[in-house]
Amino acid sequence: MRRVHLVSLLVFAIVSSLPSHAVAQSKFFSFERDVDRPGSDFSNTASNSPEDCSFACQLQNHCRAWTFVRPGIQGPSGRCFFKDPAPRAVRNNCCTSGARLGRPVPVD
């Protein structure tokens, strides 16, 4: 579990250092505003935006969904939760979520 957390932090650090156009919405994930996908978390980390969550989840082979919780809901910063398997979507204005589209393709 600690290794997964360290990988998530590393991914977040890389994503945070990229120019904003590099973290645009992924074509590999849905983008669901005002939707939470509660449960199935395997890792979480502080995050700047839903786009950062989508990109970071895309970099992890086993990540099937993500939820970005807006700043101020669970602390001063936004928070990204990575999920496997993808839980069902629930309407909630706290969050923006996404789920992997189509068949998973491993990333090397």
Q: Are strands 78-83 and 90-99 parallel, antiparallel or unpaired?
A: unpaired
Q: Report residue 3's pLDDT band, with 50, 70 and 90 as the boundaries.
A: low
pLDDT single digits (tens) 6-28 = 555 554 554 444 443 333 455 67
pTM check: above 0.85 = no
Q: What is the pLDDT of residues 56-103, one digit of tens each?
A: 998 998 999 999 999 999 999 999 999 999 999 999 999 999 998 876
Distance between CA atoms of residues 22 and 40, nearest Å: 27
Domain ranges for the chain = 2-17+28-99
Helix residue ranges per DSSP H, the chain: 2-17, 50-58
- Confidence check: pLDDT of 33 > 90: yes
What's the CATH fold of domain 2-17+28-99? Hepatocyte Growth Factor (3.50.4)
